[in-house]
Structure 1
Amino acid sequence: MEQLLRELQEKEVGKVMPNEPLANHTTMKIGGPADILVEPGSLEKLQEIMKLIDKHQVKWTAIGRGSNLLVSDLGIEGVVIKLGKGMDNLELNGNEVWAGGGYSLIKLVTIISKKGLSNLEFAAGIPGTVGGAVFMNAGAHGSDMSKVLKKAHILFEDGTMEWLTPEELKFSYRTSLLQKERPGICLEAVLTVEEGNRDEIVSLLQKNKDYRRDTQPFSYPCAGSIFRNPLPEYAGQLIEKAGLKGYKIGGAKVSEMHGNFIVNDDKAKAQDVLALIQFIKRTVLEKYNVSLETEVEIIGRK
C-alpha cells in the first residue's frame, strides 16, 4: 500500500489522502478511514489511477458526495475513489445534458430549470451526484433517472469502460445493473431535457424542494431513505405505525419527521445505525409481516 501511495502522489493524479476518515466524506458523518482516498483530477487521471490499482492488485471503492451511504466504523480497505471536482464537467447540447459523474444533482437541476428546460424537476433536493443517481436509479414524484437518461459512461470493476443505454443498465425501482450484477460506477451521463415554460418549471422545482424540506430531516446528518418502499406499502408509514419514530440506539435515532430516515443524533457510530436498522426490520416483520430491504448502501470492513 505504501508503494501505491507513493506512485499515486508522484503521478499527481489529484488529491491523495492516506488514512482519511470517511466521516468527513459522507452526509451521515459516519465512517472509519480509507487506506487511501483519492479524488481524481480528470477522467484521464482516473484512468491512471485504475492502472496503478490494477498493477498493485488493490481493492477499490467509488463514492460521490457520500449520500445514501453507510460506511463501517472500521473504514474501507484499499483505495476509495471520490468522484468530485475534476469529474464534474457540464455541457448543454440542444436537448441533451452531458454531466460528469461527480456533478451535484441538486446544482444540475437548479441550473437546467433556470434555463427553461424540463424533465429533471423530480430530482429537486435529492442529495448526491449524477453518478450516484444513475447507480441507484434515484427518483421521486413519479419519475426517476431511467426516464431521463440517454446513455451513461461506466467504469467496471475490471477497469474497462463502456457506454450503456438505460435498457443495458437494467433499471428498476432504486436499482441498476451496477449494484450487484455487474458492479461499476457512472463517470458521465447524458440526460434528455425538453424546452418548457421557465416560470412553471422553476415553480414545480421549488414545490418539490419545499416538500422535501418540510417532510425530511436534512437539518440532521443522515443518508436519505434507509429502506426501499415495499410497494404498495411505504416504509416510512410502516415504521411510524409501529411506533418507532424517535426510537434510539446509541447516537442513531429514527427521525421524528420521517420514519424512513435514521439521523445521526449524537455522534452515532455505524454499529448504532446497523443495530437500529435490524431492530426496525424485526419489528416491522413481526407486526405487519413485511420484510424491509435497505436502500442505503452499506460498505466497508466488517
Structure 2
Amino acid sequence: MTLTEKLSELQVGAVSPGEPLKDHCTWRIGGPADALAEPSSKEEIARLLAFVREEEIPLLVIGRGSNLLFSDKGFRGVVLKLGRRFSALSVKGTRVRAQSGVWVPGLARIVAGAGLSGFEHAAGIPGALGGLIVMNGGSLRRSAGENVRYVDALSRGGEFKRFAPDECGFSYRRSVFQDGGARAGWIILGAELGFEPSDRRTVRKACLDALAERRGKFPLRLPNCGSVFTNDPKVYELAGPPGKIVEDAGLKGATVGGAMVSPLHANFIVNLGGASAADALGLISLVRRRVFDRLGVWLDTEVRYASEDGTVIPASEACPR
C-alpha cells in the first residue's frame, strides 16, 4: 500500500500525492512533497500525527505559504496544510475565535464589520492566522501578538495545550512556535483574539487605507513572499528600514536567475517566472553580502526556508556568507 493510500484509508482529510509545493506558497517556488494532507478537524490532525509518529515519517506543517521558501527538491515526507478546510471562526462581543487556517485579510474584514478595532494593520497581509501568529507578523508597527488572548496548539506527540500570551514568547517577528521544523514544536490549531469596540465606518476606512498603501508601495502583481528582510531596530537606527538599505546599496532590479529585487520596493524579491529556490537564496545572499560590505551588518530574513528534510530556518541562515 502506498503512502497516499494509507493516508486516505486513515481519513485525515484531502490527500494529494507528489504535490508541487510551488502551488502552496505565494512565491510559486518549490518541488514536490511525497504527500500533502489538508485536514478539516482536530481529530483528523491527531490521526495524522499518530500515523507519521508511528511510521517515523517527517511532517512539515504549513498554512497559506506566504512566508515560506520551499526547497527545489520539495519535501520527503507528509505536508500538513492548515488552510481553507480548517478555517472556522466566530465573533462574540469583542473576542474572535478562529482556526489557524483563516485567511488574514478576510478576518480583518470580519473584525472591521463587527465594529472592532485593533486589526486594521493586518488588512493586507496575505496568509493564514496560524502563520501570522507563528511569525508574530504585522505592519504599521503593530504585531499579531498584541491581539492574542490565548493560542490552542497540539504537540507532535498529540498533547493539547492552551498558551497564555506570556507563554507565546512574542517579540519582533518571533514566537515560541517557530522552532522545530519537521521534527519538534507545536502545531497551532487556533486562537482567541481580543479587540476594542469602535465605529464600523472608521475601522473600515482604516482597513481600506492600509490596503491602498500596500497597493501603492508593494509589487503585488508578481509572486513574492512579502517583506524579505527584518526591520531590526539597531540596523534601522544605523541606516534606516531594510528597503532603503537595499536600495541605497544600488540593488533595486538586481537579478539572480528568475528572482529579482523589486524596482518598486527593495525589500521585496519577486519571481519573474520560473525562479528556483536556489535563485532566491542566491539573490538574498548577494544582497546580504553587499549590505555587509557597505555597513558592516548582516540583514536577517523574515522569510523562512523549508529544506528537503523539513528543517525550517530563516532563509538568511540557509545562505552562504
TM bracket (short chain): over 0.9
Q: Give 1:187's aligned residue.
A: 189
**Structure 2 residue runs without a partner (length 5+):** 310-321
Report the Cα distance in structure 1 between the residues aligned to 2:75 and 2:210, rounded to whole angstroms. Answer: 35
- Which deviations, in whole Å up to 9, do the C-alpha atoms of 1:18-53 show, x marking residues without a partner? 110001111011000111100002111111111111
Report the Cα distance in structure 2 between the residues aligned to 1:150 and 1:266, rounded to whole angstroms. Answer: 41
Q: Judge conservation of contact 1:72–1:301 (CA < 8 Å) in 2.
A: yes
Deviates more, 1:6-15 or 1:270-279: 6-15
Q: Which amino acid aligns with 2:136?
A: N
2:222 partner SS: coil
Q: Judge conservation of contact 2:120–2:210 (CA < 8 Å) in 1.
A: yes
Q: By how many angstroms is 1:3 displaced?
A: 4.7
Q: Which residue of 210, 213, 216 corresponds with 1:214?
A: 216
Q: How many residues align?
A: 301
Q: Give 1:57's aligned residue.
A: 56
Q: Judge conservation of contact 1:43–1:86 (CA < 8 Å) in 2.
A: no
Q: Which amino acid aligns with 1:153?
A: D
Q: Give 2:316's aligned residue.
A: none
- Which deviations, in whole Å up to 9, do the C-alpha atoms of 1:125-149 show, x marking residues without a partner? 0010000000000111121111100
- Structure 1 runs (4+) deviating above 6 angstroms are none
Q: Which amino acid aligns with 2:189?
A: L
Aligned pairs for 1:115-264 (under 5 A) are 115-180=114-179, 183-231=185-233, 232=236, 233-264=240-271
Aligned pairs for 1:12-23 (under 5 A) are 12-23=11-22
Report the Cα distance in structure 1 between the residues aligned to 2:215 and 2:80, rounded to whole angstroms. Answer: 30
Query: What TM-score does the superposition give when structure 2 sets the normalisation length?
Result: 0.91
Q: Percent identity at matched positions?
A: 39
Q: By how many angstroms is 1:250 displaced?
A: 0.3
Report the Cα distance in structure 2 between the residues aligned to 1:49 and 1:26, rounded to whole angstroms. Answer: 22
Q: By how many angstroms is 1:179 displaced?
A: 1.1
2:270 partner SS: strand
Q: Which amino acid aligns with 1:136?
A: M
1:263 partner SS: strand
1:178 partner SS: helix
Query: What TM-score does the superposition give when structure 1 sets the normalisation length?
Result: 0.96
Q: Judge conservation of contact 2:50–2:157 (CA < 8 Å) in 1.
A: no
Q: By how many angstroms is 1:291 displaced?
A: 1.1
**Structure 1 residue runs without a partner (length 5+):** none
Q: Give 2:283's aligned residue.
A: 276
- Which deviations, in whole Å up to 9, do the C-alpha atoms of 1:85-142 show, x marking residues without a partner? 3310101122110000000001000111022111111101001000000000011112
Q: Judge conservation of contact 1:4–1:52 (CA < 8 Å) in 2.
A: no
Q: Judge conservation of contact 2:70–2:277 (CA < 8 Å) in 1.
A: yes
Q: Judge conservation of contact 1:135–1:185 (CA < 8 Å) in 2.
A: no
State yes or no: 1:110 paired with 2:117.
Answer: no
Q: Which amino acid aligns with 2:232?
A: P
Q: By how many angstroms is 1:272 displaced?
A: 0.3
Q: By how many angstroms is 1:12 displaced?
A: 2.3
